Amino acid sequence: MKKEKLSAAAARRIALAAQGFAASRPPGRITASHLTRTIDRLGLLQIDSVNVLARAHYLPLFSRLGNYASGHLDRLAWGRRSQRRLFEFWAHEASLLPVGAHPLLRWRMQRAADDAGDGKEKLHAFRRDKATFIDEVRREIADRGPLAASDLSNGGVRRGPWWGWNDGKLALEWLFFAGIVTTATRRGSFERVYDLTERVLPLEVQRLPTPAADEAQRELLRRSARALGIATETDLRDYFRLGVADTKARLAELVEAGDLRLVDVEGWSKPAYLDPSARRPRRVEGRALLAPFDPLIWERERTERLFDFHYRIEIYTPVGKRKHGYYVLPFLLGDKLVARLDLKAERAGSSLLVHAVHLEPGIDVHDVAGPMRDELRLLADWLGLERVQLPQHAALAKAMGRMR
């Protein structure tokens, strides 16, 4: 059968629809059910400790749903066992995932327990060197209940790499990677508190059967394809950080089974995989500020391929070498990324600081000012900030008008 060829614009609209940007935000109050449906669509939320605006896991839900109570997400992730609908694990980096995905990652946990690699070689080396100490940490959690690294009776030696973690933190992270402990809650400055997985996850989740590794990988790739709509092998592999050999083998099986379709996309140098159930809207009227770790844009090469938008996070770039700013959010309008905004929540002064706005080439300030103003006001309201402080950008400020 001859492969279908899609235009670049059609592929972009498919991707936006798959990520939830082809539909209007729900009217009225946003409930926990809205959150669970959105997370199910995305498959996961990346976790990051940077809190310049809001922590990374909160922002993709705001981008798709608007003003929602972040406490809903906290309860889904770290609430009572009966409320828990999410769990933490290494998926796309550190991530929050629906608890129903736990069986799909048990093969990764088992590989970690077996010292079988999967990209955490320093943790495996630590385990080989400190197996007895790790078991002591596990027993302390079993005896005392949920503990953070700072609660351990013996934190051990502090080491240079791994963010200066001590042996206690490394032991907890190895137990976490092996699935023996998980996050019971977060406290203070987002410090992870660990407990035995069997005491945290709902019993019905623990009783779910464990699929073979190849079937779990196929399902993870199906979920990646549903979340992305259309994607290259690299895009699909990156979503849950699967291995190259595993991904290529599973994709061939999924194409053979008809679960994915191979297509060509205008301007793409690599074959694309299309989710057969993907929506194909003729028009997308999106409007959203996108966090650096939003699933729509976290794979930078894909972002450039879809939107002709070269994007890099500059948190770790020296101030004098930054091109756009410290914490820059792309602005989606329609089906294009039209601007970049360097934002900060200045909580002491109750202000959303817009340090800079960079319009993309060919974008007229008057076309974006109104939607951008509305989105900034919505963001400030969600963050509980009283005012939006615009940069010294005369044309933009005039086009936006006065903002409280």
Structural domains of the chain in order of their starting residue, each with its CATH number: 32-42+56-206 (no CATH), 312-400 (3.40.630.30)
Distance, CA of 286 to CA of 139 (rounded, Å): 51
The end-to-end CA distance of the chain, in Å, is 59
Amino acid 116 reads A
Distance, CA of 95 to CA of 371 (rounded, Å): 31
Residues 6+ apart with CB under 8 A from 296: 15, 16, 19, 21, 290, 303, 332
Amino acid 366 reads H
Q: What is the pLDDT of residue 158?
A: 56
DSSP 3-state of 214: helix
Per-10-residue mean pLDDT for the chain, 404 residues long?
92 99 96 98 96 97 98 97 95 97 98 80 87 96 97 71 73 96 95 98 97 99 99 99 97 98 98 98 98 98 98 93 96 98 97 96 95 98 97 73 63
Question: Angle at CA 246, nearest 5°, toward 263 and 301?
Answer: 55
Distance, CA of 42 to CA of 225 (rounded, Å): 10
Could you give the residue ranges of the DSSP H alpha helices within 28-69? 32-42, 59-65
Question: Angle at CA 194, nearest 5°, toward 108 and 163?
Answer: 80
Q: Are 289 and 329 in contact (CB under 8 A)?
A: yes
Neighbours of 330 (CB within 10 A): 25
Among 65, 3, 10, 6, CA closest to 283: 10
Q: What is the pLDDT of residue 396?
A: 73
Q: What is the pLDDT of residue 394?
A: 61
Distance, CA of 108 to CA of 90 (rounded, Å): 9
Neighbours of 26 (CB within 10 A): 16
Among 173, 236, 243, CA closest to 213: 243
Tokens of 166: 């001590």
pTM (2 decimals)? Answer: 0.94
